[in-house]
Structure 1
């Protein structure tokens, strides 16, 4: 007798923590954007001709050209760059790709490749056992590349030593962040681990804490002071959290995502002192450290400030700091490469971290090779130096101009307020929504800013992420938008968005 069996895995029987996971950056609004793209391809008429994905910080998807040095080394800096399309089709015989040499070592015999490219490729291959990037590496990452990362950190921090044994390579910074959170989470009931995260926050944190059944402890950035971090707000959040959980960690995102602020050194010092006094493990998400635009703003690493504070902080405060090749001037999101440096971590726990990473075997080895090139850029004596410097500065200068343009256009639009985009790759404007629009959103079971963003997508093709996906003070409404589109497309996008907000306000007023 054939009888229908109930499925073993259903919404009722699955892990309830997974059901609670939300990730707004690739959430429902992005799924609708994909549907609209398919409808456009099928010839279905829309009020727009393309969907503009301004929802995510994927630089190359938005048109940013790869930095030449990370993909290839010129035979001569005097050679004019070939058209981008030709490079994509592999038609260049005057340039050589370091990653290509690593992936297909037989090319090392070719006279078409310059010696500096071959030396780099051979160095990486030797570190991989002399074979290819298709072999596993050790779980914490190739030792030589960890040493390169340590030297990079030392240069960045003005000579403060970095120990390669405290550096773990990872599948982007996200993977390392999740690993550290796994180490921290423990307890049940009122002893469940609480983790302080900024609001607005990057949804990786809320999603991971939900998956691990930990307690998210919100502390609010001060929008009226350009998203400043105030230690008095940390104290409020911590005091209230201790009634229902055991706070053990404090996360700081600097430069900020989605808020784009760059924290001054005095703020970082105050945060370190607070974490030390309250016995909190510090997590410093510093993946946008190359993206600082505002005059007077400067990136200060938590590691550097911690060390310069001296004892007892430098000797005892536990810290994990994260970096990635996905952001900065690089924008190499698809290679999934990053690292974490741990400071003052208990030696036995560090061994457990190594064990946890070994379960995943190793980070992608091509990504590790790319990370090597990011942390070991051309020296002034190298043939690639001039072109590398010019391209790097051009990318960052254009991002700075886009940041300024975004702030300017939004603040000229009635009902939209945008704080200065001091760093990172996003703006997080506050929008005024009419009461009738809020009421209509509630009738549809939507957050008001989600309703606004969905209408924006349906009428203009512009895809942004509602502020409710990142967290915001009750009664305020925002959206996150990347500043990465090419300048002219960005200008048009900003104007269309401002015009849509005016129309939306009229329609629901």
Structure 2
């Protein structure tokens, strides 16, 4: 048929074929197959699959925040306002939100950048957080942080002086960045985090990455993930100052992925905007964009797809391009924007919902802190595994010692050593984690990423499964 040539392996968008997203990659596909096999009665050395591949808090047992869900329910169905069970502050919040919606309905489009009320609440939150002036004109709402990260990266696709553009990203990194760069046709300039120094970012490594990439590309931007994903570190303020000075010296736009700022366990959080401002001129004038989301933190509303970018000191051409792209996308989910407003402006002391909100948010933070400590202790107690302290985010990224014989077997199977390890872990224990090669890592080192969000009993079951498997794996291939 003639139509068979409409899309082929050679004429389809090659950039899209280059996208790799290990979080939902082959290991997860096999885990789903195993779940189906178990349902059909196929015998396995375990009773269930433990999915630890993705940071989906509610899927792993974290209950939603009551205030957010009440606001969403009432916004979607205003007739519920007559119920005596709806707190007064929920009614007032929804009244304000619907007044900002066209015809008072969350089913209508919002402005492409988002509802002004919600953008204003974001600006007020940022100003209170940083002690630095913020404007709603710099705030762009999106369908999750991923949406606006892609929008900002799209600003750098143009060739410069005959050279293709490149963006510096950390290794290990969240594969949203490598995947989006592939989709957009942007070159990827890797810089390695220093695992031996709590995953710090060393300036000499940034210089090496920039220098090597600049031989063939025009390096346009620098991505920093803080708190780290998958690594879980929180950057020291002094380290952030060094990074900002490096970006200024090399005329780089900073993209600060700060989506896990509400998941920090033991250290203070400093935004890149705040640190740049505190450095004063000329560094305070550095253009940058930072990103946050409802999917993480105490809200953890992954499925609502709500997030934002604050793009400060964006030149006029950048503003015009970003505005045009957001207009084409129409608008992010209005219900998601309602949830974001709740996160940016939670119930205040004295309001009807404050007491329950405070208890629920504190419980979420306590669970995360307890799991982080348990994971750190457990992985460091297993011979052949080691794990840096987990300061933020919701993952552990332990380093694995893989015997040389296992590496040979993996190569014969066409797999990376840690991919082979994670596949064996899944087949023998039902625990589904993501190989470190899916995030990038220094050559010769091997890791896996696991969530630390499961309920206590399931979490302990997972850790003990890893402990038993690793001992048997080392013995088998030693």
Q: Which moved more, 1:318-327 or 1:224-233?
A: 224-233
| Distance of 2:461 and 2:387 partners within structure 1 | 17
| Distance of 1:379 and 1:61 partners within structure 2 | 28
Q: Please give the per-residue CA displacement for 1:81-128, whole angstroms capped at 9, x wherever unaligned.
A: xxxxxxxxxxxxxxxx22111111222244443322111111111110
Match of 1:287 in 2: 259
| Distance of 1:112 and 1:338 partners within structure 2 | 29
Number of residue pairs aligned between Structure 1 and Structure 2: 478
SS in 1 for 2:422: helix
Match of 1:94 in 2: none
CA contact (8 A) 2:87 2:353 kept: no
| Structure 1 residue 4, shift from structure 2 partner | 6.6
| Distance of 1:252 and 1:112 partners within structure 2 | 44
Match of 1:92 in 2: none
| Structure 1 residue 504, shift from structure 2 partner | 0.8
CA contact (8 A) 2:140 2:309 kept: yes
Q: Please give the per-residue CA displacement for 1:417-458, whole angstroms capped at 9, x wherever unaligned.
A: 111111101111110111111001100101111011011111
Match of 2:199 in 1: 227
CA contact (8 A) 1:254 1:286 kept: yes
Match of 2:281 in 1: 311
In structure 2, stretches of 5+ residues that fail to align are: none
Alignment of 1:73-222 (within 5 A): 97-158=70-131, 160-187=132-159, 191-222=163-194
Pair 1:491–1:190, CA change in 2 (3 A): farther
| Distance of 1:222 and 1:101 partners within structure 2 | 48
- CA-based RMSD of the aligned residues comes to 1.3
| Structure 1 residue 60, shift from structure 2 partner | 0.5
Q: Please give the per-residue CA displacement for 1:291-334, whole angstroms capped at 9, x wherever unaligned.
A: 1113xx211011111111111222x2010000000011111100
Q: Which moved more, 1:487-496 or 1:247-256?
A: 487-496
Q: Is 1:44 the counterpart of 2:42 in the alignment?
A: yes
SS in 2 for 1:140: coil
SS in 2 for 1:330: coil
Pair 1:364–1:229, CA change in 2 (3 A): same
TM-score under structure 1 length normalisation: 0.92
More helix by proportion, 1 or 2?
2
| Distance of 2:371 and 2:4 partners within structure 1 | 55
CA contact (8 A) 2:143 2:332 kept: yes
CA contact (8 A) 2:222 2:252 kept: yes
CA contact (8 A) 2:231 2:395 kept: yes
Pair 1:4–1:350, CA change in 2 (3 A): closer
Q: Is 1:407 the counterpart of 2:376 in the alignment?
A: yes
SS in 1 for 2:449: strand
Q: Please give the per-residue CA displacement for 1:369-418, whole angstroms capped at 9, x wherever unaligned.
A: 00000001111111211221122112112111110110101111100011
| Distance of 1:347 and 1:185 partners within structure 2 | 17
| Structure 1 residue 39, shift from structure 2 partner | 1.2
TM-score under structure 2 length normalisation: 0.98
